[in-house]
Copies of this chain bind each other. A is one copy, B any other.
């Protein structure tokens, strides 16, 4: 993650400040975290935090950057043939969350977004840019937002149970089993017949 892009140019100390802020926001919450405490925990001079990020909002913006692997994984899933794309998307989500580094970044994004409006705005933007991309090919324009939103409910719910709360069977199953169980639902939301009209009482997915 170092060596290229704006983060790499700013070097290792900036990286360490962002990683520290990420943990602090996710653990203590954004409001309870001061720039001074981040500097202290990162072992750098407070002036350096100000120099790199100017404000707590500037630091938040860095923390809300998705892992570099995220965009690539979503893009790769989006290129799969339609009948494999549900599986590919769930696989990509699991890959990202099973990796400790990207998991910590995503975790900080989710927890911070639940409390801080600026972070929530950033999450909405991510959602528009990346989740919508997965269903952008071969799906009628009128159904794209709905299908993306349904897919998001299934993926986010899996993530909350398995990785954030670590609750129930979802937390202990091997990753391939989770994919086998969840992928059919995501595939259904992507390509299945949906009860679009409020009065429709069709029930069975697929």
Binding site for B on A (CB under 8 A): 26-32, 87, 110-111, 113-115, 120, 123-124, 127, 131, 145-146, 148-150, 152-158, 160-162, 164-165, 167-171, 173-174, 176-177, 180-185, 187-188, 194-196, 198, 200-206
Cβ of B185 and Cβ of A204 under 8 Å apart?
Answer: no
For residue A87, which residues in chain B have a CB less than 8 angstroms away from its CB? 203
Instruction: Evaluate whether A160 and B157 lie within 8 angstroms (CB atoms) in the complex, with A28-B31, A167-B127, A169-B145 already known.
Output: yes
A204 nearest CB across to chain B (Å)? 4
Copies in the complex: 2
Question: Secondary structure of the A side of the interface?
Answer: helix
Give the distance in Å from the alpha carbon of A158 to the alpha carbon of B204 in the complex. 18
Q: Which residues of B contact A203 (CB under 8 A)?
A: 87, 183-184, 187
Q: Is A152 touching B157 in the complex (CB atoms < 8 A)?
A: yes
Contact flag A165-B113 (CB < 8 Å), given A150-B181, A195-B181, A198-B180:
yes
A22 CB, min distance to chain B CBs, angstroms: 14
* Contact between chains at B152 and A154 (CB < 8 Å): no
